[in-house]
Structure 1
Amino acid sequence: MKQLCYGEAQVRDIFYQRVRKECAEEIKAFAACALGRTFTVSFACRPEHRTMNSCMKLHATQAEHDAAREEWFALRIERQKERERKAKMAAAQEEFMREWWGLPEHVRLSRQKEMEQRGERIHGLTAKDRPEK
């Protein structure tokens, strides 16, 4: 079986979402018929199932798949712009904090390393000083 890349999987999800949106009434009718049934669904709800499948086959065309791919590309560009905007905002925030507190980056990183190297504190004692059980 061919493995899909992340983008193709997202295109497929958009495609399925669009098809389900077009056939929402048929899907609801089948779900209402199938509610509370087990193995009798295939017999009791055959007309609703066929109606739902025919609707999905009618709308699941290559043109619809291409439209889903175009929508994904449009959303991809928007997501890229959003990521760039967030990265720019994070860089500005970091620069502001560095400027505000007046700490050079190497000092800030050394303090962070010191905090990471300290032992775990339990009831006021570091983990290495705490009595063994």
Structure 2
Amino acid sequence: MAMALPIGSEPQTTTLPAPQPPQSLRNPLPLSASQEAQVLSPEFAKCAQGRTFTVAWSCRVQQLAMNSCMIAHATKAEEDGAREDWFAGVMERKRKKEEESVAVEKRRVEIIELTRRQEEKEKAELELKKAQEEKNAIPKKSGWFGGR
């Protein structure tokens, strides 16, 4: 059974949400809470790190500074620029990490090769030493009176 509308009210129509613009790959949204803290206020993020509910009074000065700065300067364009800078740094850090891992792998291969060469050298020296000892060894005389 349908309920009647109150007198003087009009039926409400539901509207579909406006289509969202496609997200930029260079500026993905939304950021995580820690990423937003890095973008918006490094000092507040440093102060808040490792704290839970004590952040409210421990980092009050940094929070007030961040809020006043945001009121004065934070525009959508500024936030987007800060995100761009942060993400540019992410790509640079990722590139450096990949370069370091390539250098580590290259060094690992060199060390394995040096170790293999050293083992081969030691094995060859040992075989040469055995051959030299066998060549220089005095043969034992055999027989009844040969050894005395």
Specify the TM-score bucket, using the shorter chain as the normaliser.
0.3 to 0.5
Q: Which has the higher contact order (CA 8 A, sep 6+)?
A: 1
TM-score (norm 2): 0.38
Compare CA radii of gyration and give the structure with the larger one. 2
TM-score (norm 1): 0.42
Answer 1 or 2: which has greater helix percent: 1
